[in-house]
Structure 1
C-alpha cells in the first residue's frame, strides 16, 4: 500500500511563483500540492473544504499580509506554516514576528523570481515541508528532488585524536539547533545570568539573518549575544551565533579559546554545521566542553556530539516533548552520543551547573 502524500497549500500573490513552487513540490513523491491561492482570503475558503498538512505562505500580499493570516491560523486552527518570502535582514523584525506567531521555518525567496533561481533552492524547500509536517504546532492567542552529496565534518576539520589529554581550563558550551530553534534558543538564553560559560551556537539559518537574530536576542538577554567573528576570544557571559552560510569552529591557543569562521562545503547538508562545531570542541576542549543538541530535523550534530562524548565531554539532548521537531536529538540519542536527555526548561540549569563545577575545579 502506498504511503499517503503530504498535502500542501501554497499562498502567494505571484502566479509564476505559485506555478514554480507547485512544480518543485509535486516532483517529490511524498508531497502533493492540494491547491495554490493568490491571497489569504482564497486560502481560507480552501481550508474550509480540506485542512492541509503544511501551508507555504508569502508575507507581502495585497488585501491581507501573510503575518496577519499566520496569526489567525494559529489562533483558530494551528497548521504547520513555512514562510517563503523576499524578506532579507532589513525585514528581520517581520521574520522574528513570524517565528513568534508560530511559523515553523522561514525560507528566503529570490528577489528575481525566475524558475532557475527557485529551482536552486528546491531541495531546501522540500526538506522544510517535510520538517514542518512533523512539527508540533500549538494554538496561539491572536494580538529537495536533487539529492546533494552528504559530507561529514572531515570536509572541514580532521577527526580528533582519541586519548589526547587536554589541560583543565574554562568550560565551554556548544549548542546545535535547527527547526524550532529561534524561540527555543530565546527560552534558554533569556534566563542565563551574566556569569554563564561562553556559548557557541550553530542555528541553521540563511545567510543575512544571523546578525539580526543575534541582535534581537542580545536585546532580550542578560548575557551578550552576537554574531561570531573570526579570531575573537570566547568569553564568559557571551553567546556567539555562527554566521549564516559559514562554518564556526572552536580553537584554542594555550588555555584560551577563540573562534574560527571558515568557508567550505555544507556538512550533513548544512552550513553552518553542528557536526563541525562539535568536532572542533571535541578536538580542542574535550572534557572541558558541554555539547547540547536541540530541536531540528535531520541528523546534523549527531556524529559530532558522539565524538565529543568519546573524548570526555558532557552531552545533553532536548527531549521529545519539548522539541518542535525531534529529529536531531533523536539521531544523537540513537547513536549513543547523549549522556542525559532533558527538557527545554532544564537546559539553562544544565549549563549553569556545568559552568559552576568548572569554576570550582579551576579554583581548586
Structure 2
C-alpha cells in the first residue's frame, strides 16, 4: 500500500506499444498517479518490479515469452502485489480474466477490439479509479496448492437439473458485490448446501463476462448457477446472476418470485445495480429475505440494503479485514444497513443458520 500523500507508482506491462503509451498517458494525467515504468514482456517486468518497487501493476493477459496468467500465478505466489488485468472483450478473454481474478488480480480493464486509443480514453476516469482502488486493496499470497486447484478447475455449464426444479422458494437471498466480488461470491457459494433458498446476485461486471462467470460458479457450487433470464422463476437450490449489462430485480406473482431484467439507465453509475436488486427484494420479499453485501468499491447497494433491513430482512455485511475493498460493505455499515458484520469465511454458515431459523417448522418447533 502506498504511503499517504505519495503518488501511486504504476508499472504498465503490455506487449503493445500503443497500449503502453495510451495507459501511461491516461494514468499520468492524474496527479495522484505516476507511471514509473513500462515492460513489453513478463521477464522485463520481473526485473523492473525489483528495480522500481511499484504499488500497482497493469498486466496484459496475452503476451510473448510467458502469458499473463502464468506470470500472475508466479507473482502472487512469490511477491503478491495489486494487479489490474488488461483483457479483451471476448468469450475467451472473459474466461481467462476470471481465472486471473481467482489467482489474485484485484480488477480488470476491458480492452476494446478496435480504435483502442480513442475508446480507452473514453473510460479514462474508470481506469484511474480502478488503479487507485487497487493501490489500497488487500492482497493475499497464493499458495502452491491454491494455484494448482485454480488451474485445474474447469467451468461447468448449467444444465438445468431437475432434482429441485419444481420446488419454489418463499425465501430469497440477495447478494451484491463489486471489486474482489467474483472470488468472494465463489467463497460463499462453495459453502452453501444444495437445498439453499433461491439466490439472486448482482456483481458489477461487463456483459461479456457474466455468462462465463455464472458457468465458473456452477462448477464450484452444490446449487445450480446460471445467468438470469427475464421472467425466469426463482427456484430453491438455484442461483441467478445478473447479466452484466442489465438491471436485475424481483417481481412476485402469488407465492412465486420471478427475475425481471431491465435496460433502464444506470443507478450509481452501474447497470446492473445492487440498489435496484435490493430495493425490489425489500418490496417483494420483505422479512423473508436475507441481504448480503460483499467486497466492492463505491456505495452501490447501501440504500437498498437499508430498505431490506427496514422491511424486516436479515442483512449481512462482509468485514473490512476480509474485503479486498471495503467500499460498498463499509457504506452499508455506516448507513446502518448491516444487521451483522462478518468475515467472509463465516458468511455462508450464517446464511444457512438464518434461513433454517426462518422455516415455518423451525418457528413452531
TM-score (norm 1): 0.89
Given candidates 136, 139, 151, the residue that maps to 2:138 is 136
Aligned to 2:328: 328
Aligned to 1:298: 298
Question: What is the CA deviation profile of residues 162-190 of structure 1, one whole-angstrom value per residue up to 9, with x for unaligned ones?
Answer: xxxxxxx8111100011111111111111
Kindly indicate whether the alpha-carbon contact (under 8 Å) linking 2:87 and 2:97 is maintained by their aligned counterparts in 1: no
Aligned to 1:40: 42
Kindly indicate whether the alpha-carbon contact (under 8 Å) linking 1:170 and 1:362 is maintained by their aligned counterparts in 2: no
- Match of 2:283, SS state, is helix
Kindly indicate whether the alpha-carbon contact (under 8 Å) linking 1:88 and 1:108 is maintained by their aligned counterparts in 2: no
Structure 2 Cα separation of the partners of residues 219 and 250 of structure 1: 25
Kindly indicate whether the alpha-carbon contact (under 8 Å) linking 2:189 and 2:348 is maintained by their aligned counterparts in 1: yes
Structure 2 Cα separation of the partners of residues 296 and 314 of structure 1: 20
Given candidates 70, 74, 87, the residue that maps to 1:68 is 70
| Equivalenced residues, count | 338
TM-score (norm 2): 0.89
Q: CA deviation at 1:354?
A: 2.3
Q: CA deviation at 1:5?
A: 1.4
Given candidates 15, 18, 23, the residue that maps to 1:16 is 18
Q: CA deviation at 1:242?
A: 0.4
Instruction: Write out the 4+ residue segments of structure 1 that deviate beyond 6 Å after TM superposition.
Output: none
- Aligned runs of 1:160-171 on 2, under 5 Å? 170-171=170-171
Kindly indicate whether the alpha-carbon contact (under 8 Å) linking 2:89 and 2:113 is maintained by their aligned counterparts in 1: no
Q: CA deviation at 1:322?
A: 1.5
Q: CA deviation at 1:359?
A: 2.1
Q: CA deviation at 1:362?
A: 9.0
- Aligned runs of 1:1-364 on 2, under 5 Å? 3-142=5-144, 170-360=170-360
Unaligned stretches of 5+ in structure 1? 144-168
Kindly indicate whether the alpha-carbon contact (under 8 Å) linking 1:302 and 1:337 is maintained by their aligned counterparts in 2: yes
Question: What is the CA deviation profile of residues 95-119 of structure 1, one whole-angstrom value per residue up to 9, with x for unaligned ones?
Answer: 2321122111122101114321111
Kindly indicate whether the alpha-carbon contact (under 8 Å) linking 2:176 and 2:301 is maintained by their aligned counterparts in 1: yes
Provide the alpha-carbon RMSD of the alignment. Answer: 1.7
Structure 1 Cα separation of the partners of residues 231 and 301 of structure 2: 23
- Match of 2:12, SS state, is strand
Kindly indicate whether the alpha-carbon contact (under 8 Å) linking 2:95 and 2:209 is maintained by their aligned counterparts in 1: no
